[in-house]
């Protein structure tokens, strides 16, 4: 695992088995063949986000 800053996320399985992938809440078993990367582009502000007010302290 490594961490970095940027607008692209790459996930790549390092083993010899397929990697399951989740898409819209559905698990797609064996969707990613061994050593095959999966790349996502991060789009800032694509979805509205709301975080409620913090709970009262105490």
Going from N- to C-terminal start, the domains of the chain cover 10-41
Bridge-partner residues for 16, per DSSP?
none
The separation between CA 6 and the C-alpha centre of its own chain, rounded to angstroms, equals 14
- For residue 58, the model assigns a pLDDT of 62
Cβ neighbours of residue 20 closer than 8 Å, sequence gap 6 or more: 27, 28, 29, 30, 31, 32
Distance CA 41, CA 35 (A): 19
Distance CA 14, CA 18 (A): 10
pTM (predicted TM-score): 0.49
- For residue 48, the model assigns a pLDDT of 75
Please choose, from the candidates 31, 42, 36, the residue with its C-alpha nearest in 3D space to the C-alpha of residue 12: 36
- For residue 39, the model assigns a pLDDT of 85
**18-49 confidence digits (pLDDT tens):** 877 787 788 877 777 888 888 888 887 777 77
């Amino acid at each position: 695992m490594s961490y970095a800053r940027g607008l692209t996320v790459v996930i790549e399985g390092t083993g010899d088995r397929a990697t399951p992938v989740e898409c819209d809440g559905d698990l797609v078993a064996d969707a990613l063949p061994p050593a095959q990367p999966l790349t996502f582009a991060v789009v800032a502000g694509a979805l509205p986000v709301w975080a409620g007010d913090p709970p009262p302290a105490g």
